[in-house]
């Protein structure tokens, strides 16, 4: 019998992980990357005798596939992807392909913001008592973990791009942290397309599965008014009393599932800010569902270290606190960052604008921001939006220079906040590179 041919577009973490899993399951595998494949991934492909190409796509070797796994970074608008779709070849994402080979309990976490923190926090709580992997957009690929570790449970951080290419993917527990306009360039600048994409996380769920979501998010509530969701709903809220799900009452998180109630004080939560109370609610609801002991949940929430590049306190120099929030790649993430500032702030912002609307930041800029440093190739929109709000607004294209300017502008007791509200690809490799350059520049002051 002829082997099924799987072609993988993209030789990064998810692509190479999928290649390894597919080869072990008897597929004929070919990896193709338009860019350069990193040496560490090339070595893995060579050592495992998996055929690959980089810096090109050979159509004859791609269009003869039975199934194609494409990297979430490749948009559907690309000519090659259009050809693949026209030929009717099945296109899947890594999570779709890999989940077929796992019997594990899957917790899928998506949302415009907070998904990395919520996924990392959920994993941190669960791993105290369960065998659990963390994958999706974080760490080692899901496919590779199924091949090498095959955990009983997985927490998956999932982007809308990964959800766009699912067919049967069905998590036991789905979490939707929030929906705000993001990546609209990939969704024909139609917010409703992006919303529908996020909700695909529940599309295959049945009444035996669970859906945990933010009941304070109007976008989510509006969608649910007109779309039927099969799974059992467990909302969380900071403002409403919730019978089944989680809510806040006098600094306590109250979680009720099937008349089983637990109370978690928020006074000692490791992460500060209202948005992190929500992340804690989502994580502890998952933990409660999976029968983690109350004491374990509480201790885990109190000793969690947070996520790199997400409101990460770097150093205090001359009584000025430097904060790395490079992971804030959209306006809503920066909204939370500015909201949590408790001192006059020098704000470093800018990068690739994804169709941003800055108006929601105005009140915090007026209240808390003393100076703005625009760090991007094109800062025109930022300058236009904010120049009348602050006394000092400066442009630069170098992180080291941005940090030196901030050092001069900040006084004792102030904050210097890198929270770009934009993607990083104009000046940096990715948001991690941007965050690391910020931290290095601060340490070199």
Rounded to an integer, what distance in angstroms lies between the CA atom of residue 399 and that of residue 351?
12
Q: Given its phi and psi angles, is residue 318 left (phi above 0), alpha (psi -120 to 50 degrees) or beta?
A: left
Question: What DSSP state is assigned to residue 12?
Answer: S
The annotated binding site for ATP is made up of: 111-117
Pairing verdict, β 232-237 and 210-214: parallel
Rounded to an integer, what distance in angstroms lies between the CA atom of residue 140 and that of residue 150?
12
E-strand spans in 24-112?
Answer: 28-33, 51-54, 67-70, 90-92, 105-110
The annotated binding site is made up of: 111-117
What kind and span of H or E run contains 316?
strand 312-317
Pairing verdict, β 232-237 and 153-157: unpaired
User: What letters, b where the CB count within 10 A reaches 16 and e where it falls short, cover 74-103?
Assistant: beeeeebbeebeeeebebbbbbbbbbebbe
The dihedral over CA atoms of 267, 268, 271, 275, expressed in degrees to the nearest 10, equals: -20
Instruction: Tell me the torsion sign for CA atoms 107, 230, 76, 50.
Output: positive
Q: Given its phi and psi angles, is residue 354 left (phi above 0), alpha (psi -120 to 50 degrees) or beta?
A: alpha
């Amino acid at each position: 019998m002829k082997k099924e041919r799987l072609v993988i577009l993209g030789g990064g973490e998810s692509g190479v992980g999928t290649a390894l899993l597919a080869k072990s399951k008897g597929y004929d595998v070919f990896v193709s990357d338009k860019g350069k494949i990193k040496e560490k991934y090339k070595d893995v492909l060579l050592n495992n005798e998996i055929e690959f190409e980089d810096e090109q796509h050979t159509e004859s070797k791609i269009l003869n596939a039975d199934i194609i796994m494409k990297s979430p970074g490749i948009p559907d608008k690309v000519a090659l992807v259009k050809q693949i779709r026209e030929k009717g070849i099945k296109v899947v994402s890594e999570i779709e392909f890999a989940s077929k080979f796992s019997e594990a309990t899957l917790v899928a976490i998506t949302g415009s913001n907070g998904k990395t923190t919520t996924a990392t926090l959920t994993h941190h709580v669960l791993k105290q008592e369960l065998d659990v992997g963390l994958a999706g957009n974080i760490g080692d690929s899901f496919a590779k973990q199924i091949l090498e570790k095959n955990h009983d449970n997985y927490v998956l951080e999932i982007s809308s791009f990964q959800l766009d290419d699912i067919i049967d993917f069905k998590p036991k527990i789905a979490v939707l942290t929030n929906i705000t306009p993001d990546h609209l360039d990939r969704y024909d600048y139609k917010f409703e397309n992006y919303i529908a994409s996020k909700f695909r996380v529940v599309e295959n769920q049945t009444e035996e599965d669970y859906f945990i979501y933010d009941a304070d998010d109007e976008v989510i509530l509006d969608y649910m008014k007109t779309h039927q969701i099969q799974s059992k709903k467990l909302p969380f809220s900071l403002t409403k009393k919730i019978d089944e799900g989680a809510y806040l009452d006098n600094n306590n998180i109250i979680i009720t599932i099937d008349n089983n109630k637990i109370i978690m004080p928020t006074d000692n939560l490791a992460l500060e800010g209202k948005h992190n109370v929500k992340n804690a609610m989502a994580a502890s609801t998952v933990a409660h569902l999976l029968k983690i002991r109350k004491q374990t949940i509480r201790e885990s929430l109190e000793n969690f270290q947070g996520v790199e590049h997400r409101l990460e306190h770097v150093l205090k120099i001359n009584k000025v606190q430097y904060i790395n929030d490079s992971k804030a790649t959209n306006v809503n993430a920066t909204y939370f960052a500015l909201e949590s500032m408790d001192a006059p702030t020098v704000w470093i912002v800018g990068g690739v604008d994804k169709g941003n609307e800055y108006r929601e930041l105005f009140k915090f800029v007026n209240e808390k921001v003393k100076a703005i440093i625009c760090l991007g190739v094109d800062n025109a929109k930022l300058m236009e939006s904010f120049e009348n709000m602050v006394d000092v607004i400066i442009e630069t294209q170098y992180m080291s220079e941005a940090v030196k300017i901030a050092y001069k502008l900040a006084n004792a007791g102030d904050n210097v906040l890198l929270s770009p509200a934009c993607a990083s690809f104009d000046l940096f490799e990715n948001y991690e590179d941007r965050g690391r350059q910020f931290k290095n520049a601060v340490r070199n002051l």
